[in-house]
Amino acid sequence: MIKFIRAYIKSMRLYYSFVTGMAGWIGVAYYELLAKGHLEKTIEVLPSQEKKIVILFLLFIGWGVNQIINDYLGLKEDRINAPDRPMVTGELDAKKALALSIAILLFGVAVTWFYLEPIAIIYLVAGVLLNIVYEHAKGYSILGNVVFGLMITMASFYGFYACGPTQATFLVSHRASALFLVWIINALMTFYTYFKDYKGDKAAGKQTLVVKYGLHKARLMALFATFLPTLAFIILKSTNLLWVKPNNTFIMLGCITVFLQAWTGWLYYRNPQGPKTYDSLKTNFRACVCGEATVIAFFNPDLALWLFIMSYVFVGFLFDLHGNPKS
């Protein structure tokens, strides 16, 4: 049992959990802004600290559970890309791991229904379904990136609707801009992950952008695509779709994030293959979660600063604990 649990936790790759954690906290921060009456407050009430801790736990654990499902669906390419992964080596029984993941998801549904807000279950289930769709969509070029980015936005929806009652919605143009930034930041992040999986994806017939265009063209794309989130922000700002004026904290964190994104693109341009390709994932994940923390600065600058620092530190810490690029 201990061996199974250890292998299960290893397969969750918890350094990824900050991706859904920070994306979900965008929704929580937005809800709190409404509850404090800084925007068009309706029936929102400030969630308790206990409720926010539960939401954060479910956001973090949700990524790991989805990762197990992803490994189960992607065994074919993982036998080439990551031959040391517990599910590939047999250290982690695939069917038992899948059963445990389903049980944890049902636990999350129950907690959301009885303790949080039942409507949030829609976005929890949508995230799981999009993860399953993603495993197939990644075989169709940019569609995989589109679906992955959309999947992570479900965490923002979940964080918002799980907090408490509301009559507001994200789906208004000037508010949806935050979701658009989350979508594009994560679509870009997953593009960079395809470099390390090039051989396995190609062998499995997965036409990711890297496989479709080859390493030479893809490394050039890596260099220029790094500025897509910045370009998206400029467009949103110039078209008045951003509903709040960027504060000093947002500007400061945004500048650091742009550097991390540019550095990520440069790393993959320099090393599209080889051991350094895997090591570059740490910078890639940091750029992603720090970008999400920067979006939180729209709603809560002080919190965004703390989350930015904590995300940067702990993503690196957890990534270095993982160690083996083949797992």
- List b or e across 22-31, with b for residues whose CB sees 16 or more CB atoms inside 10 angstroms: bbbbbbbbbb
Share of residues in the chain with pLDDT > 70 (%): 94
**Taking 60 as the threshold, does the pLDDT of residue 173 lie above it?**
no
> What is the average pLDDT score of the chain?
89
Residues 114-163 pLDDT 10s: 999 999 999 999 999 998 899 888 888 899 999 999 999 999 999 999 99
Residue 292 lies in a domain: yes
- Lowest mean pLDDT of 177-186, 190-199, 200-209, name the range: 200-209
Share of residues in the chain with pLDDT > 90 (%): 57
Given a contact cutoff of 8 angstroms between Cβ atoms, the answer to whether 59 and 311 are in contact is: no
3-state SS, residue 245: coil
Residue 123 lies in a domain: yes
Residue 193 lies in a domain: yes
Residue 181 lies in a domain: yes
- Number of Cβ within 10 Å of residue 125's Cβ equals 16
Select the more confidently predicted residue: 172 or 100.
Answer: 100
d(CA 278, CA 262): 17
Domain total of the chain: 1
User: What pLDDT is stored for residue 154 in this prediction?
Assistant: 95
Phi, psi angle pair for 74, to nearest 5° = -110, 25
Given a contact cutoff of 8 angstroms between Cβ atoms, the answer to whether 55 and 163 are in contact is: yes
Residue 327 lies in a domain: no
Query: Using 50, 70 and 90 to split pLDDT, how confident is the model at 94?
Result: confident
User: What pLDDT is stored for residue 229 in this prediction?
Assistant: 94
Per DSSP, helices labelled H in the chain are 2-12, 17-35, 49-73, 75-81, 86-89, 94-114, 121-137, 143-161, 173-193, 198-203, 209-225, 228-238, 248-270, 275-296, 301-322
Residues 34-64 pLDDT 10s: 898 876 667 889 999 999 999 999 999 888 8
Select the more confidently predicted residue: 300 or 7.
Answer: 300
Residue 67 lies in a domain: yes
- Number of Cβ within 10 Å of residue 269's Cβ equals 16
Residue ranges making up the domain that contains 263: 2-322
Residues 278-316 pLDDT 10s: 889 999 999 999 999 999 998 899 999 999 999 999 999
Which DSSP string do the residues of 109-151 spell out, in sequence order? HHHHHHTS-GGGHHHHHHHHHHHHHHHHHTTBTTHHHHHHHHH
User: What pLDDT is stored for residue 170 in this prediction?
Assistant: 63
Residue 173 lies in a domain: yes
Phi, psi angle pair for 44, to nearest 5° = -65, 145
